[in-house]
Structures are given as structure tokens and as C-alpha cells.
């Protein structure tokens, strides 16, 4: 069982010591290794251009293979340097040296990118018959799918001089604004109310303290409603000082994307993201429409939850509240053993890969000042084992977050054999292993907990995570759609207009089941996906429904599915999403796929409802 709630992050010595070692990326050379790799990559890029510029049409299959091997080697050098700088920056965004190194890398990356731009443009310009003739040659398995995909961008590419200008100006444009957003949000501190408890009540921080935004947000799961309300008000107060700056920043990036889409002839704001995801506009709209048509699922849960919490109607700060008083904490060592045992029981190979993250110092887990919020996994490059960042606050949800991010990590590790061009899947499949791993760990926690209150809490948390991943992410997609459209049609948006559109998108999902407070209208302003990766969020819903479908296959087939599941992960991005789905018996082209996935979510709701009634509280 978990430890008592008095166990805090501050007393968890293993957690405090869980920091990653980035030196394998640069062979122990530190920042000097970054400079050396960038210099070598730039030199090799110039020689590559001298050899191949204007001559791509003359290559045979062997020549294309040689050119792609050299491009891969250059990308390896840039990737090692880039990940070292970006990951170092993410753990301390306030350190000027980290920011300077990241800027240096971005400037050198752009110089390399502009030197090599000709290759993509010449490849896209080849006639279809000639391109297919080259792609049929032997020895191109490591890049064939990548090259085919690159040709899908033909109608959206500019001339070489124009592409170079766009790339170079991005350093002082979108890239700079994105970095500023990260620095601003990482510096946000929330002053907790002075009467907050200091021990023994599952509070992750003492009252009156200034804490990181992630720590304050984690308090929204506390069982005490007054603490949730005051914590939410404290978050709103902390977001207020920089709100107009972040709104201006968002406006600028919205306008920048509109310009980019116009120049590249994308028909709508989401088209570029869909193309990158290897997803048709029609399939994405089918997903979004299917989710929006089933909003009664989250509304039904929130109405039930209001009864469990003893209130007439939930407020926004109640949505993640624990439905029982049995809030427990998990020391990091316990979370590690739970997750590793679950992964190993499913597949010894996956368990071994997951253990390497701990043994080889590939996880940075504690909450620290100026550290980037949230959690993520970074693939790095195929020759270097991946990395995971957490902000671990010892909640049960943090155990599942650890399982989730390690799912990404083992996916990256398995796909590394595909090489640098095929290690990554499209975003639409990127959540498969993470959600699958999280679901396995959830099953273990539920299996080992016989207390009715704990089981109800677990089932509620599992359902709420699914609702957040499917319905809330689609609602955030709706918000993006509204703001991108409004920015293009109406011009610069005020803080108040952002708040209105945010409230509209959330109300569509919640209906009358949740009251949105006035303060909640500013909470769009700390979400990084809107800034650094517009259009990203629907991929969470796509991945969640896909992963639930794969897990259902596992429940039906048992161990027989394991080798095919590992085959799918190991394939990385070397095949289309439809081909990867077929490995595990999933038909992504089936128009009814999304509704079938949403039926699984409704079954989760049914299980939570049964547990609520069994508890005698409804």
C-alpha cells in the first residue's frame, strides 16, 4: 500500500536525487561538445551542398542511399547538440547560460537547415515516375517512407531563397516567442493561502508558501473543497500579472501562423498539422465530430460526481477533486517499483527498457524553481537512450504519469532501430504506448486495492484522465479553432476575447454540469501546446482512443498480442498509421472506429457509476 499522506515530496530523498545525466548526448564534453558537433555538422552540410546541389535528378538508387546516409549523420550531430541544450534549458529556464546555449544551437541549426534546403526542394520537384524509380532501389528501407512523405509537401513549398528567409527569420520570430512563453510560465509562482494546512492533510505544500504552478494545480485534487477553491483563486491571481503579455505573445504567433499558412497555400489553420500527422482532413474532422457528439459522457460523470462530493453542481475547480477522503501519497521509490513490475510482467523486454531510465539517470523528477512544468519524454537521437521529465508531487496521478512517460520512452527506444528518419511516429500514434502503459499500471493499482473508497477513487481518476485526454483535448482543439479563425477574420484579440472563446469551448463540453468561475477564463494562458505546437492537441484524443482499442485487444487475446504490439512499437514511423494499426488488428480507416472507441470510454463511465453506487454514497 502507499505511504501515509504525511509523506511529502520534500522528504523523499530518492526523488530529490532523481536528475538526468545529459552528458551521453555529447560524450561528456559538456557545452564544448555542443559547439564541436554543430561546427562539424555545418562543415559537412556545406560539403554536402557542394556535392549534391543541382544534381539530385542525376542520382541513381545507390547515390540516393549515400546522400541519405550523410544527411542522417548530419542530423545525428545536430540532434545531440540540440537535445543537450533544450533539455538543460527545460530544467532551469531562468539560468542565462542555458538560454544562451539554446539560442546558439537554434542559430546554428538554422544555418545548417538553410544550407541543406535545396535537397528537400529538388526531391519534391522530381517527376513522380522518377521518384518512384529511385525509391524502388535496394538499401533505402531506413528512409523510404520518410522520402515518400516529404513529397506530400510539394504544393506547400516555397522557392529556395524564400525558404531560407523563412528559416532565418524564424529565429527572431516564432522560435523567440515560444522561448519567451516558456520562460514566463516557468517563472510563475503561486502564493498559497496562508491558512492552508502544513501537514497531515495531503497538501503538497505548506500554507503561505510560494510554489510552482504545477504544485498549485495539483492541489485541485485535494478532498477539501475550500482548499480547492482557494488554490484555484491563487492560480488565477498568479496568472494575472503577465496575462496581457502572454495574450500579445499568442496574438503574434496566431498572426505568424496565418501568414505562413497563406504563403504555403494551406487551406485552413489545421491543414499543416494534419499533413504532418499523415491524417486526412476528413478523418480528423470525423474524430472531432464523434467526440463532440458524445459530450453527454463527461456531463453524466460530472453530475454524478457532484452527488459524490455533496454539492448541487461542480465548479471548475472541483473537476479533478478526489471523490473520497483516502488521498494517499507514493514515495518515488514505490512508484518506480510499481511501474517497473507492471511493465516487466507484460513484457520482460519492455521492463528492461523501462529500468534503464532509472539505472542510467535518464529521468529528471523533482519540482524545482524555474523548471518547465508538466511532463514529457524526449527521444533524443537513435544512438542515445531517451530522456523523461516529470514534476513529481507524490500523488497517485503522478504514478500514472510516470507510467505514461515511460511508455513514450520505451516506444522511442524500440523504434531507435529504425534510424533517425523513422524513429518518430506521427503524433496520432505517438500516445499509443504511453496510454497503454498507463492503463496496465492502473489495472494493477485497482487489482491490489480492495478498499471500496480507494477503488472508487481509482476508477474515478481513470475515467477523469480519459475525459481530460479525449473530451478536454477536443474542447481545446475547439478553442484553437475559434482563436485562429477569429484572429484571421477580426484581427488582434483582447484578453477578454480570449477568455470568452475559452469559456465558449469549455461550456460546449460541460453544458450545465459544471459552473465555470470568472477566474477560469484566464487559464488558457499557461498551456504550452497552443504556443509551440498549434493543432497538436487532437492527437491526444486520437491516441487515447487508439490505445484503449489496442488494450481491449490485449484483454481479448492476452499474451498472443504482445509480440505484435512490440512489432508495432518497433516499426516507429517507417509505415503509415493505417499500416501500423493493422499489425495489432486495428482498422483506422473504419468510419465507425471513433464511435467504437468512445463506447469503451462509456464503459469506463459505467464501471465508475457502479462503484459509486456500491459505495453507498449515491
Averaged over successive runs of 10 residues, the pLDDT of the chain (618 residues) comes to: 45 90 97 97 98 95 97 98 97 95 95 96 95 96 96 94 91 91 93 60 58 91 92 97 97 97 97 94 92 97 95 96 80 96 97 98 95 93 97 91 97 98 92 92 87 83 92 97 98 98 97 97 96 93 90 92 96 94 90 89 92 81
> What CATH number does the domain containing 39 carry?
1.20.140.70
Distance of CA 233 to the CA centre of its chain: 27
Are the C-beta atoms of 582 and 546 separated by less than 8 Å?
no
Residue bearing cell 463532440: 292
Q: 9 lies in a domain?
A: no
Are the C-beta atoms of 457 and 326 separated by less than 8 Å?
yes
Are the C-beta atoms of 375 and 439 separated by less than 8 Å?
no
Predicted confidence at residue 351, as pLDDT, reads 98
Q: 574 lies in a domain?
A: no
Q: Which residues 6+ apart lie within 8 Å of 450 measured at CB?
A: none
Distances from the Cα of 278 to the Cα of 122, 157, 350, 377, 565, angstroms: 22, 17, 27, 22, 21
Q: 141 lies in a domain?
A: yes
What is the value of pTM for the model shown? 0.84
Taking the C-alpha atoms of residue 420 and residue 41, their distance in angstroms, rounded to an integer, is 15
Q: Which residues 6+ apart lie within 8 Å of 7 measured at CB?
A: 329, 331, 394
Residue bearing cell 516506444: 411
Q: 66 lies in a domain?
A: yes
Taking the C-alpha atoms of residue 388 and residue 187, their distance in angstroms, rounded to an integer, is 21
Q: 121 lies in a domain?
A: yes
Q: Tell me which residue range forms the domain holding 124.
A: 23-182
Number of domains in the chain: 1
Predicted confidence at residue 4, as pLDDT, reads 39
Q: 408 lies in a domain?
A: no
Please work out, in degrees rounded to the nearest 5, the angle formed at the alpha carbon of residue 42 by the alpha carbons of 41 and 43: 90
Q: 153 lies in a domain?
A: yes
Residue bearing cell 545548417: 112
Predicted confidence at residue 207, as pLDDT, reads 56
Q: 82 lies in a domain?
A: yes
Are the C-beta atoms of 442 and 400 separated by less than 8 Å?
yes
DSSP string, 475-520: HHHHHHHHHHHHHHHH-SPPHHHHHHHHHHHHHHHHTTSEEPPSGG
Are the C-beta atoms of 78 and 39 separated by less than 8 Å?
no
Amino acid at each position: 500500500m502507499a505511504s501515509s499522506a504525511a509523506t511529502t515530496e520534500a522528504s523523499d530523498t530518492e526523488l530529490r536525487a532523481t536528475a538526468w545525466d545529459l552528458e551521453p548526448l555529447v560524450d561528456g564534453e559538456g557545452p564544448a561538445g555542443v559547439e564541436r558537433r554543430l561546427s562539424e555538422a555545418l562543415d559537412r552540410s556545406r560539403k554536402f551542398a557542394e556535392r549534391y546541389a543541382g544534381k539530385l535528378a542525376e542520382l541513381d538508387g545507390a547515390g540516393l542511399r549515400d546522400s541519405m546516409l550523410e544527411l542522417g549523420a548530419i542530423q545525428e550531430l545536430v540532434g545531440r547538440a540540440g537535445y543537450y541544450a533544450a533539455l538543460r534549458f527545460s530544467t532551469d529556464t531562468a539560468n542565462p547560460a542555458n538560454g544562451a546555449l539554446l539560442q546558439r544551437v537554434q542559430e546554428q541549426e538554422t544555418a545548417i537547415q538553410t544550407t541543406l534546403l535545396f535537397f528537400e526542394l529538388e526531391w519534391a520537384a522530381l517527376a513522380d515516375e522518377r521518384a518512384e524509380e529511385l525509391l524502388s532501389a535496394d538499401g533505402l528501407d531506413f528512409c523510404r517512407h520518410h522520402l515518400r512523405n516529404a513529397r506530400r509537401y510539394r504544393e506547400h513549398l516555397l522557392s529556395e531563397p524564400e525558404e531560407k528567409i523563412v528559416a532565418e527569420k524564424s529565429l527572431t520570430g516564432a522560435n523567440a516567442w515560444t522561448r519567451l512563453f516558456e520562460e514566463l510560465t516557468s517563472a510563475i509562482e503561486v502564493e498559497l493561502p496562508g491558512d492552508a494546512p502544513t501537514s497531515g492533510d495531503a497538501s503538497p505544500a505548506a500554507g503561505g508558501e510560494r510554489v510552482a504552478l504545477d504544485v498549485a494545480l495539483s492541489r485541485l485534487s485535494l478532498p477539501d473543497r475550500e482548499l480547492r477553491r482557494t488554490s484555484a483563486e491563487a492560480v488565477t491571481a498568479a496568472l494575472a500579472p503577465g496575462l496581457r503579455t502572454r495574450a500579445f505573445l499568442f496574438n503574434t504567433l496566431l498572426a505568424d501562423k496565418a501568414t505562413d499558412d497563406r504563403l504555403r497555400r494551406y487551406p485552413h489553420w489545421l491543414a499543416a498539422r494534419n499533413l504532418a500527422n499523415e491524417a486526412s482532413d476528413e478523418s480528423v474532422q470525423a474524430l472531432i465530430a464523434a467526440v463532440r457528439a458524445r459530450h453527454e459522457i463527461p456531463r453524466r460523470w460530472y453530475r454524478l460526481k457532484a452527488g459524490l462530493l455533496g454539492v448541487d453542481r461542480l465548479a471548475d475547480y472541483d473537476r479533478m477533486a478526489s471523490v473520497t477522503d483516502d488521498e494517499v501519497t507514493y514515495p518515488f521509490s514505490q512508484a518506480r517499483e510499481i511501474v517497473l513490475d507492471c511493465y516487466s510482467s507484460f513484457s520482460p523486454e519492455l521492463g528492461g527498457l523501462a529500468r534503464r531510465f532509472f539505472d542510467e539517470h535518464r529521468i529528471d523528477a523533482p519540482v524545482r524553481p524555474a523548471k518547465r512544468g508538466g511532463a514529457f519524454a524526449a527521444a533524443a537521437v537513435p544512438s542515445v537512450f531517451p530522456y523523461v521529465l516529470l514534476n513529481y508531487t507524490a500523488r497517485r496521478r503522478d504514478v500514472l504519469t510516470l507510467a505514461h512517460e515511460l511508455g513514450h520512452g520505451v516506444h522511442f527506444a524500440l523504434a531507435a532501430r529504425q534510424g533517425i528518419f523513422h524513429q518518430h511516429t506521427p503524433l496520432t500514434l505517438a500516445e499509443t504506448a504511453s496510454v497503454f502503459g498507463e492503463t496496465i499500471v492502473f489495472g494493477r493499482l485497482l487489482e491490489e486495492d480492495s478498499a471500496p473508497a480507494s477503488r472508487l477513487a481509482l476508477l474515478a481518476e481513470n475515467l477523469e484522465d480519459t475525459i481530460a485526454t479525449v473530451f478536454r483535448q477536443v474542447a481545446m482543439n475547439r478553442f484553437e479553432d475559434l482563436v485562429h479563425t477569429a484572429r484571421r477574420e477580426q484581427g488582434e484579440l483582447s484578453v477578454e476575447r480570449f477568455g470568452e472563446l475559452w469559456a465558449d469551448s469549455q461550456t460546449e463540453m460541460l453544458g450545465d454540469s459544471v459552473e465555470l468561475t470568472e477566474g477560469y477564463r484566464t487559464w488558457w494562458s499557461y498551456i504550452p501546446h497552443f504556443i509551440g505546437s498549434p493543432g497538436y492537441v487532437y492527437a491526444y484524443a486520437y491516441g487515447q482512443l487508439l490505445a484503449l482499442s489496442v488494450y481491449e485487444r490485449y484483454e481479448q487475446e492476452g499474451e498472443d498480442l504482445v509480440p505484435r504490439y512490440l512489432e508495432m512499437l518497433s516499426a516507429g514511423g517507417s509505415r503509415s498509421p493505417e499500416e501500423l494499426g493493422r499489425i495489432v488488428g486495428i482498422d483506422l480507416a473504419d468510419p465507425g472506429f471513433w464511435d467504437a472507441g468512445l463506447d469503451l470510454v462509456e464503459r469506463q463511465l459505467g464501471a465508475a457509476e457502479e462503484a459509486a453506487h456500491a459505495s453507498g454514497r449515491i
